[in-house]
Amino acid sequence: MDRNSIIGLVLIGVILVVFNLFFLPDAPKKDPNAPQQTVVADSTHAETGPAEAQVLKPVADSNTTAELQAAFGVFAPFAAGEQKTFTLENDLIRVTFSNQGGRVSQVELKEYKTSDSLPLVLFYPEDSRYSYQYSTGNRSVETGNLFFQAQVEGNKIRFLLPFSEGKFLEHNYTVQDGSYLVNHEVRLAGMEEVLAGNIDYTRLNWSLTSPRQERDVKDERAKSDIYYKYQNDSPDYLNITKSDNESLKNTVKWVSFKQKFFSTTLIATEAFESAEVAGGPYRSDNKVADFKAEMILPLEHKKEESFSFQFYFGPNHYRTLAAMDLGLEKQVPLGWGIFGWVNKYIVIQVFNWLDSFHLGYGLIIFLLTIVIKLILMPFTYRSYLSTAKMRVLKPEIDEMKAKYEKDPQKQQAEQMKLFQKAGVNPLGGCLPLLLQLPILIALFNFFPASIELRQQAFLWADDLSTYDSIWTFGHVPLINTIYGDHVSLFTILMTVSTLVYTRLNNQISGVTGQMKVLSYIMPLMFLGIMNNYSAALSYYYFLANMITFGQQWIIRRFVDDDAIHRKIQENKKKPVKKSRFQAKLEELSKTAQQRQQGGKK
């Protein structure tokens, strides 16, 4: 920049300073006796998303009344007013209502805190919307733009739009004692003369943006969904990991905006005729996801008619939701098929029984692990015994491999004969492990979904429902993708114990070659996966490994390889009775051998 440009900029600055000091008019002084400025809802505001704030403007001049009449018709008297809030609460929830829209504007759960130890609020006024859309004449008006009269009586609040004697629109809410439920009723009286007779429905527009509640916002975002239930069907859900929407054409019983551990649910006493649901992740560190639903309710244009609902503002606690007998407990991801059954009928029952003794959750998980390992003990014993039999037969199997090295089919046939004579099932060690698999996978779903573990500390972990971290080193591009930005000690303990367990198993079974290498690679792969999972899950797997070491030590004291060898030799002398499985394997082996010989000819 040259000297002339600098001088010019300095002169401009001097002129602006002088003008501001000497020529701008003084701001008008506020009259303390003047009435408060009235605000008017803009009924033509554009929708920018599922949780936009209401657009308000001050009353500008005497033409406002005419403008309101043109925009709102018979609803014009309620389009201007002062926004006020009211609070109802019980021992579990604190619900804030707004007279603008006659709606629930904020909900706080008293028994819970955010990961930052702040009050846990499900949604805030500026990030939520709940509005009924009515048609009158050639215009459509939303209750979210109207100011209701309010009356509070105990645990009830009544919002009213009185048109004239016997003509009114009313929103009623009741907070139930000791419950996460809020009853909601909409009453229309004499409105058949006000609303357009050719429109036989009203549209309910409901949306919110959920604030961040947990430490790991990515995990919280990944586990936010929109659940819904048709009147005569099982619950289903819309995965909103990526923005998506769905049209629900049948009658809908309830719609739920589910976060990881909490949900906001609207339940119809009868049912919604249909609904449109949509949602998507919110790209912000302090907000999680956008939720939106539009429900259709029938209008019969009677002298009096009403709609009744219930809101559920609360935790995704399995027993609490199941007690409502509406299928809401399906929001707790326990796993599909047999894995869900194991959690529902075994794991949850044992966990709740242990929880009834008011023990620490670290101890509860320890006792739960012992109970499960005792249940699986017969399978563990049979697996070890089968492995021991295969280990005793290994010298003979190796001899056969060397003898029939150039004839794999003959080698397999001779091995099957050996197994039949010895009375050994080659899959005997695998089947018991497969029977244990449903429990292992069930627990993989159970621990991360258990709200009981949320913010429960144990040893160095301050929250068993999410990962434990003894060192957070921050974002490192490649490492962050594969491993994460922290070190979980429970995951390291689980991995080390799994490697030791694998080494012992390899020694017992005598596995060699590629299978031996693969057996060590799998635990290392899980090191990266489990590093970002629930600390309770890694802690359980670590305990399970340690208890298994103890079980194997005990079993080895009762299993004598020499006795097994003598028993096998005795079995060889007895007549062979083939099982169906063995007969089928032998038949397949002979068929393959004949094809091979035919090909050589």
- Sequential DSSP letters for 10-56: HHHHHHHHHHHHHTSPPPPPPPTTSPPPPEEE-TTPPP-STTPPPPE
- Determine the residue type at 56: L
pLDDT value for 44: 33
Higher pLDDT, 196 or 44: 196
pLDDT value for 384: 76
Lowest mean pLDDT among 76-80, 104-108, 224-228: 76-80
**Cα–Cα distance for residue pair 99/104, rounded to 1 Å:** 9
pLDDT-derived band at 137 (thresholds 50, 70, 90) equals: confident
pLDDT value for 598: 61
Helices (H), 450-534: 477-482, 489-509, 514-530
Residues 6+ apart with CB under 8 A from 422: 389, 393, 568, 571, 572
Average pLDDT, the chain: 81
Higher pLDDT, 593 or 168: 168
Higher pLDDT, 149 or 197: 149
Q: Is pLDDT at 372 greater than 70 in this prediction? A: yes
Lowest mean pLDDT among 57-66, 495-504, 568-577, 588-597: 57-66
pLDDT-derived band at 101 (thresholds 50, 70, 90) equals: very high
pLDDT value for 15: 45
Give the Å distances, CA to CA, from 562 to 390, 395, 511, 552.
Answer: 13, 14, 20, 18
Averaged pLDDT, 479-498: 85
Place of tokens 């829209």: 101
Higher pLDDT, 571 or 501: 501
- Count the Cβ atoms, other than its own, within 10 Å of residue 382: 17
Helices (H), 79-156: none
pLDDT-derived band at 56 (thresholds 50, 70, 90) equals: very low
Residue 147 DSSP label: B
**Cα–Cα distance for residue pair 160/510, rounded to 1 Å:** 80
- Determine the residue type at 28: P
Q: Is pLDDT at 16 greater than 70 in this prediction? A: no
Lowest mean pLDDT among 143-157, 329-343, 503-517: 503-517
Please tell me the pTM assigned to this model: 0.77
Q: Is pLDDT at 452 greater than 70 in this prediction? A: yes
Q: Which domains does the chain have, with CATH numbers?
A: 56-332 (2.70.98.90), 339-573 (no CATH)
pLDDT-derived band at 244 (thresholds 50, 70, 90) equals: confident
pLDDT-derived band at 430 (thresholds 50, 70, 90) equals: low
Q: Which helix (H) or strand (E) holds 187?
A: strand 181-189
pLDDT-derived band at 521 (thresholds 50, 70, 90) equals: confident
Residue 58 DSSP label: E
Averaged pLDDT, 189-209: 88
Q: Is pLDDT at 511 greater than 70 in this prediction? A: no
pLDDT tens for each residue of 529-538: 888 889 999 9
Burial tier of 227 (Cβ tally within 10 Å: 0-12, 13-18, 19+): buried
